[in-house]
Every structure is written in structure tokens, then in C-alpha cells.
A and B are shown apart, each in its own frame.
Chain A
Amino acid sequence: MPLITSWRSRALTATLLAAVLTTGAACGDDPAGTSAGGTIKIGLLASLSGTYQAVGTEIRDGFQLYLDTHDGKLGGRQVDLVVADEGNGAQTAVPAATKLLKQDRVSALTGIVGGGSVAGVTPLLNETKVPLVGSNGRPELKDVSRVWHTSYLSDEPGAAIAQHVRDNVKGSVYAIGPDYQGGWDELRGFTDAFGKIGGKLANTDGKTTFTPFPATTNFLPYFARIKASGAAAVYTFYAGSAAVDFVKQYAQSEIKDVPLYAAGFLTEGGVLNAQGDAARDIYSVLNYSPDLDNAENRAFVAAWKAKHDGSPTTYALASYDAAAVLDRAIGAAGSDPTPEAINTAIGQLGQIASPRGTWQFSTVTHSPVQKWYLRQVRQDGRALSNTVVGDLATVGR
């Protein structure tokens, strides 16, 4: 009976396979560039392939938009922009950054989507003495002497919205997020600030519920717990396809009438189109919205819409601002803008005018001291859009 005797070995085979089947791989590629008199070489590292391709593309396009609207110059010098692919994380980002810094010898580095990639690249910056004006990922760093960010720290969105939630929600709030560093930081930002001003979490043990990431695609079991907790509102942070799953399932669940507050990435960019009507009325906190009413933003949005479908995201804005920072710093660095001189100049910029409103670098964290906005997903013409409904706290140390 061959079938019966081989069952054990087949079960073993299946068990082993089930145990082994977990990982994937990614790869990157990079172009090259040359240098000449009167030009300056800038390296842009962003995820142009893999999971964060959408964010990486926005970052590249945001920087390019600034160059296109400023005659291709930063600080009066023609820019030779060398773009490299960050891939999915440090594993691919570090070799790409090494090439930019050591082979292309760029004067400054910008971009970088993942916090892990930034952590991996930081030692290279100190070795080559080149500054990074990052436009997205910002991990916990001990030494920020050459690291600047135009984005935010992961715990700031939650800290900025805590007071608003405390004032407007009558009852306890359920905190839920993805189980990885970014999720921990985003949720800690909210729960710390919320607890300090007397807010109460509805979670059973008073601690945030973290869902396995990226394995969780079905949030219904968690919604059942939220329902049972009697929470008056939910605070969350998800991004990418997890954000789509969370929002779509939320709208069909038994807690669909419980107000949902979130870090803005839950409904930012492409995910909002995928969520569709399910995202309607969600409140989120972010440092930018395309409908902000100031001259810089009107010009930025108009220039963006001339080249792209849809509105610019906070990712594109941060990269646009990174170019603006480099523009002013290179101009201020004098006749010989060495990487060291540019780094020093960035530290002395002071107030920076931006489509998001005026902001400045924190002297401690080298990330923005900026205002955060409360937005709600509302109908805007044919499409749904994140509409600013109020100002929140100015956050940054």
C-alpha cells in the first residue's frame, strides 16, 4: 500500500515546507552621473521598486518638481541629480548609498523611505562627511550631526492629535496598530500624550493592541474586541495595503459608527482611492494637506497637478522641502559648497517657508518643529479628499 506507507513522509514534507515558507527577496539597480564646473551633484535614494514603490516615486517626483520649477538649480548651481533605488530596506539601501557617496561622490544625500534604511546609511554619512536631508523615514538616532529630516518623528502625529481627541470624545478610546517599530512609535506618541492629559484607553489591560504585521489581513476579530470594550472612539495607524484592509473592513463592521481617528497615513495618497467610500468621515492628523490656503501651497499644488494625476501627498511635499532646504543651504555655503559647508549652513537656516506653512529644524532632533492639521475625508468634486478642518498642536523639540 504505497499511499498509506508514504503518508508519514508526506506529512513530514508538508510540515517542513510550512515551517520554511516565510521569506522573500528584493533587488535594486542604480544609474551613474558625471560632474563638471558650476554644477553640484546631489544623490537621491528612494524605493523605486518593492513594497514602498509608491512612496519612493512620490519622493523622487517631489524633488524633481522643485528642480523643474527652479531652472534645475539649487543655490545658483546646476544640479546633477543622481537617483538610486533603495529597494525594500537597509539590505539594498546601503549598497546603493555607498555607490552614491563613494563612487559618485555626491555633495548631499536626500530621500530614503524606510527608517531602517536611514539607520543603515547613517554610519556612511559620518565616514564620508556628507549631510543627509531625509524626506521620510526617521528612526531613533544617537548622532544626528549630519542627519536632517523634512518629514516628522514617528511619535509626533499621535502627540499632536491627543488633545483634540481628549476634548471631543466622551469616553474611552481604543488604541490599535501594527506590531513593528513604526507602529509602536506612532501609537506610543498618542497613548503617552493622551494619558498625560487624563485620557483613558478602552483596551482591556490599558495597553495598545498590536496586530501581527504584515500577516494581519482580517481585522474582524479585533473589531469584535473593540465593540466589546465599549470604546467611544478608535485611534490607529496603518499604512499601505493594511490601511486599505483596515478601513474597508471597519466600514462593514459592527463598530462602523464608532468615530475613527488616525495618523494621516491611513488615508494618504493612493490608499484613499482604494478605500473609496469606506474612508468617508475618517479624521486624521498630518503635517500637510493639499487644500492648505497659502501662496506657497497654491503654487506647489498647481505645479504638481500640471505634471501628475491627483494631488500631492505629504511624501512629495517633504521631498520638495528637502530640495528647498538644499537650495538655501548651498546658496549660503559660499563659493565652495563642500559637504561640510552645506551641513553647517543647514543648521543656520532658521524659518523655512513651505507649502505646509512655515517651519524650522529642531536643534535637538534635526527634524521639523511644525504645525499639525486635523483633516477629514470628505467629498471634493468627484473624488474623496483629505480636507483640513482645523489646526492642531505645533510639535517638535
Chain B
Amino acid sequence: MIVVAAGTNRIDPYLIPALDGVAYGLLVFVAASGLVFCFGVANILNLAHGMLYAIGGYTAAALLDGGWASLALALAVGVLAAAAAGVLLAGLLTPVATGNHLSQALLTFGVALAGGSLLVAGFGPDDPQVQVPAALEGSVLVAGHRYAAYRLVFIVVAALLAAALYLVVRRTRAGMLVRAAVDDAEMVACLGVSPARIRAGVLAAAGALAGAAGVLGAPIIGPGTDTADTVLLLSLVVVVLGGLGSMAGTLLAALAIGEIQTLGVALLPSAAPFLLFAAMAAVLAVRARGLVGNWRAA
């Protein structure tokens, strides 16, 4: 190994944290986009969102055995299970009036507590270990630095996922309905699309996204008793930083969180415990609408 951290190259030591910030940020993006969808489109505040991620994480821990087939299986099972949990949530939320955030929060928080206890009862109180495919277990050289192979591949996969999400929202009929619902939910209802169906669809999609993030992100934010809270917290910070309006805002906020949590910690280790919330407070103080405005502006 050659040490390149000479005075002439001050950026070099921070390359890996910056790269890792992208991996972390993309994971937060995939995990949080479901919550942002629910909140922004269906106007549902889903505090059980972290639990949906945890379902994916526990699925990964239970099914992954170091082979590629198990990864595909875990992804399928995790996405389906979390999407099904999302539909179940939509059913439970039917009696709650749209826009009544307190009732939604209480109901989904109750579901999150019960679901979290069920997951712990089912999978045990210890943080289970996740075994990634053997081919990705090692590390690779990136610009002269060693970096975990899994995380490098994760960056590519998560970027593809983000691109696919963008295309679905922009180019498909379902995406059109989603955008229409954001613009004017009452008009969409008048056009004959049942709000209940949109709600179920959005929660299922949010669950699928969270489930996919949970499975693929399990080696990064692993399943455990406090995973659901961590993911919910990060997702809410994304909402605060990025607003509810645009995918660009969500992506920007998620990447900012990723870099704050890695590059920020590398630059200012003593400030690590409160960097994230200091950033959140700063954004709120300067721009109460988040980093990027709403859908119309974007």
C-alpha cells in the first residue's frame, strides 16, 4: 500500500468518505422516496415507513446465504412482503379522513410499534447478520483506495433504481395519475379514479421501495431493533430538507444526508453527533420550504 496523503493532495483522504456518502445517500433516497410519495401524493403521514424497511432488512438477513439466487429471492420476498404490509396499512387507514395527520400518525405509529414487536418476536432481539453474495464480500481498489465491493455495486444498482423511479413517474399512466393527484386530488377523483385505489397503490409502491431498500441496504443500514426508527428519522429529515414536491429535491436531500453522515464525519469528527440536525436546522432557518421548492417550481 502506498501512502498518498501528502501535503500536495489534501482531497485524497476524503475520496472514500465522499464516495461512501453517495452510497449512503442513494440508500436513504430509495428508503425515503416511499415516505415522500405517501406524504406528498396521498397526503398520508406514514410513521410505519421505517417498519416497512425493517421488513426488507430482516428478510435479507433470513434468506441471504452468500449466493446470487438467494439475493434475487430475498429481493422478491422483501419487496412483496413490504408492499403487502403497505396495502394492509392502506386498508387500516381507510376510516381515517385524508389530511387528518394526527389520526394517521397515531394509527401508523401504533402499527409501527406492534409491527416492530412482531419482527423482534419473530427474528430475535439481536441484530441479525447479513451475508452478501461471496463475490461482493471483498474490497476493490478505487483510485488507489480500498472500498467495499458491495457498496460500489450498490451505488450502481440504487442509481438505476432512482432512474427507473423517475421514468415511471414521468412516462407511465400510473406516474401521470400520481402527478395529477399531487396537482389536484379532487379533480382526479372527479375523473373517476377512486382515491382509495390511489391510496392503496401509493402505499404498496412505498412499501415496495422501502422493502427493496431494506433488502439491498441491509449490509449498510442493517436490520435490528432500532432500524425502523433510524430509517423513519432519516426519511423525515429528507422530507424537511427536500420538501414533498419533486424527486430532484428528495434526491438532493438524501445525497446531502449521505455526505453529511460520511464526509461530514470525516472532516469534523467531533461534531459527528449533531451534524445532521445542525444541517436540518440551518436549512429550516434559511429556507423553510426545503432545498428545492414544490412540484410546480421544479
Contacts and interface: CB of A to CB of B under 8 A. Distances in A.
Interface of A: 1-4, 6-11, 13-15, 17-19, 21-22, 24, 49-51, 53-54, 179, 209, 211-212, 214-218, 220-225, 227-228, 230, 241, 244-245, 249, 252-254, 256-257, 270, 274
B175 to A, nearest CB: 17
B105 A3 contact: no
Given A17-B47, A274-B129, A221 B20 contact: yes
B244 interface: yes
A228 B138 contact: no
Interface in B222-274: 222, 224-226, 229, 232-233, 236-237, 239-240, 243-245, 261-266, 269, 272-273
Interface residues of B, number: 64
Contacts of A253: 16, 139, 146-148
Nearest to A256: B146
Nearest to B12: A228
B215 to A, nearest CB: 17
Contacts of B263: 221
B105 A13 contact: yes
Contacts of B220: 218
Given A18-B280, A241-B224, A10 B39 contact: yes
A245 B222 CA distance: 10
B129 A11 contact: no
Given A17-B105, A17-B232, A253-B139, 10 more contacts: A4-B294, A7-B243, A7-B294, A10-B244, A24-B225, A179-B273, A218-B261, A221-B262, A223-B16, A227-B145
Given A6-B99, A53-B125, A254 B244 contact: no
B139 A13 contact: no
B125 A254 contact: no
B262 A18 contact: no
B288 interface: yes
Nearest to B226: A24
A8 B101 CA distance: 13
Given A21-B233, A224-B16, A11 B125 contact: no
B289 A7 contact: yes
Contacts of B245: 7
B186 to A, nearest CB: 8
A108 B138 CA distance: 51
A227 B6 CA distance: 12
A254 B185 CA distance: 51
Contacts of B17: 220-221, 224
B125 A50 contact: yes
Given A4-B294, A7-B289, A254-B1, A14 B240 contact: yes
A371 B221 CA distance: 39
Interface string B106-150: 000000000000000000011101000000001100000111110
Contacts of A4: 294
B261 A224 contact: no
B243 to A, nearest CB: 7
Contacts of B224: 241
B53 interface: no
Greatest chain B CB density within 10 A among A17, A211, A215, A216 is at A17
A22 B234 CA distance: 12
Nearest to B186: A2
Contacts of B261: 218, 221
B33 interface: no
Contacts of B182: 3
B34 interface: no
Contacts of B272: 211-212, 216
B273 A212 contact: yes
A2 B265 CA distance: 39
Contacts of B127: 241, 244
Contacts of A254: 1, 16, 145-147
A18 B39 CA distance: 15
B188 to A, nearest CB: 12
A11 B290 contact: yes
B290 A15 contact: no
A11 B288 contact: yes
A20 B138 CA distance: 38
B195 interface: no
B3 A230 contact: yes
B20 A218 contact: yes
A8 B99 CA distance: 13
B273 A215 contact: yes
B73 interface: no
Nearest to A207: B270
A212 B276 CA distance: 13
A13 B45 contact: yes
A253 B142 CA distance: 11
B96 to A, nearest CB: 15
Given A7-B294, A221-B20, A224-B17, A53 B126 contact: yes
A257 B3 CA distance: 13
A222 B13 contact: no
B284 interface: yes
Contacts of B225: 24
Contacts of B40: 3
B266 A222 contact: yes
21 contacts: A3-B43, A3-B183, A11-B240, A15-B240, A15-B280, A17-B105, A21-B236, A24-B225, A24-B229, A179-B273, A220-B262, A221-B263, A221-B265, A221-B266, A224-B16, A225-B13, A230-B5, A241-B222, A253-B147, A254-B1, A257-B1
